[in-house]
A and B are shown apart, each in its own frame.
Chain A
Amino acid sequence: MAEKKKGGLKELSPITIYKNLPKTNCKECGQENCMAFATKIVNREVDLDACKPLLKPENAKQYALLSELLKPAVKEVTIGIGDKAKKIGGKLVMYRHEFTYKNPTAIAIDVTDEMPESEVVSRVQKTDNFSYEYIGNTLKLDLIAVRSTSENADKFKACVKKVSETTQLPLILVALNPAIAEAGLMAAPKARPLLYAATTTNWKEMAELAIMYDAPLVASAPNDLNALISLAKTLQEYGVKDIVLDPGTFANDGLADTLNNFTVLRRAATKGGEELAGLPLIGIPMVAWANKGDLADDLVKWRESYLASMLITRFADAIILHSNDGWSLLPTVVLRQNIYTDPRKPVAVEPGLKVFGTPDENSPVMFTSNFALTFYTVASDIESSKTNAYLIVVDAEGAAIDAGVAGRKLTAEKIADAIKASGIENKVKHRKIISPGKASRISGEIEELSGWKVLVGPRDSSEIAKYVIDKWQP
């Protein structure tokens, strides 16, 4: 396989970008000047297309050159069309600490063409409506995978049609028989569903379909990377533009192979610049359902869920799941959110007084730690319950409440100092402060040092609103 080195992340400097920009300093991109724009480009905070002069025909050469320079190690592939289209891949790096991962793993939930129509519709709607509020983010699901279990073209066509009518979410069409796959494509023409899959036996017909319907195509070769890369190369030369790699997912025996395959492909793409390995990877945790034996359904869901989590950690750009139970999906979507956050985001927030709603001189005063996750959780609970309150954020060196108290990062001295420094004494008439339940051990000390009466509040901030209603008296 020929090696083609790309401009790695570290080699790119703003100067390299700047030299190829039109240098008009027109500010059309929203930046002060072209150098500022170049810096944002290098940090991947803006798109190259934001530079309007660069899009003019006379700058085509520079545009092409810059696009090549900025090309990610893993190609970005778009599934679907319109607002809900899902981009997968586009990764610049292997490890999370190197740079923020782009395009969170797309999660698909399946339906089949043999499910009763009502079940298909309810599963699709449940996927569509899935939503969890998590520190200021709404966690959602992304795709519907329609599988043909019937081997009947008409049934598959009808099912895909029904799903398309029910949701705007992009689709994955799962059928290894090209005739059936085509029936599905006919029911969703121009919708750019991800087609699953081209194998070493059906690849030519699948390639023809992918080209004819302008659909991205999965190349699948379970646990055989030579075959997988051969397949990808063949499809590429055949003229298929967007290819996604499926190296196979194995739940028990073969779990090590699964992780190894995902890892070596991503390493070859990011560290070796291998173009064919540099395609998005799809994982299929729902294989847990295919070899479940006599395992109870809850245990299969459990296994599927942890496979999904391991694959999210190990480089999967898309995954297909069967279970749509909230308890099994929640860890997966929260982990995905965690893994795809900016690793440079500070662990601590600025200490000081925060005001919620419109508190008056009788409103409750509380304190918490400046650990970012603690603060955001408490803040979102106070906000969503529409409680009017003052919150003193104490510098606990970024430790959570329990860890802070145990590790002497959140001490009575610091809390007393923070009360003083906050100026709260001029804002309220009372001298009562609500402590997190997990800091109850030091409430006596706080009273001694600050002169404020400490009310030990709930151990979890979800109960703040109830606590204020039931217990708060200025």
Chain B
Amino acid sequence: MNKKAIAIKCAKAAFIGLVLLLLYAPILLLAVYSFMDTDVIGTSGGFSFTHYRALFTDDKVLAMIGNTFSLALAAAALSTVLGTLGALGIYYSRRRFKATMCAFNRIPIINAEIVTALALAITFVAFGLPKSYFTMLVGHMVICTPFVVLSVMPKLKQMDNSLYEAALDLGASPAKALFRVVLPQIVPGVISGFMLAVTLSLDDYIVTFYTRPSGFETISTYVFNATTRGNAHTASTLASFWALTTIIFVVILIVVISANLAGRKKQKTEVRR
């Protein structure tokens, strides 16, 4: 009986391990080759930082990375403000308006991204708006803001409503009560909404492609174009993206694991109290 239990345990661990191995195989392969002086995976090469050097010295690549991150930060910041205000408005409004807003808020979430993108692109042209940084920013806000609303809403529902009333009774103006009493209670939801908006925007290819001004390249648009319509001189640029993938992966791994270990510790001490 004991032997059987051990065998089952081993089989479970082996299964999990195998799936994880498959999941990480492509990234590990890129990570290994990012340290070699070859542009083609599978060919042998010596250890070198060529791809890392190329990544940090190629102006074109640096511009793309800058574009991607500045767009993500701008879209996330605007989405967070809009979405937090939206969530507050929805929370305090009457039932019918609340239900309508929640339903509309879900449209960009469940919709296929390509449908959202095409609809926006055609609408911009139909209303005489040429594609610009503004249209692209709006496109990113359309995909990010609903998630901000969804992450702020639960915090509003958990909130103690009497505190706001108390603040008003004590002479605070509604605006002051909102800033000093309501906002601090929903801050965790606002922060996670912002983080989510950043990752959604960073990840996006389709909406960017349909709404961007001409000549504007992000990491996604460049890599997609280079791989599907690749030619010889994009090979070395693509190889420098192996280095970028490796860096992003390591940073994410460190951030995610450490944030969670820290978060769990905090939760535990709170429970103990």
Answer yes or no: are A and B bound together in one complex.
no
- Which residues of B pack against A, CB within 8 Å? none
- Which residues of A pack against B, CB within 8 Å? none
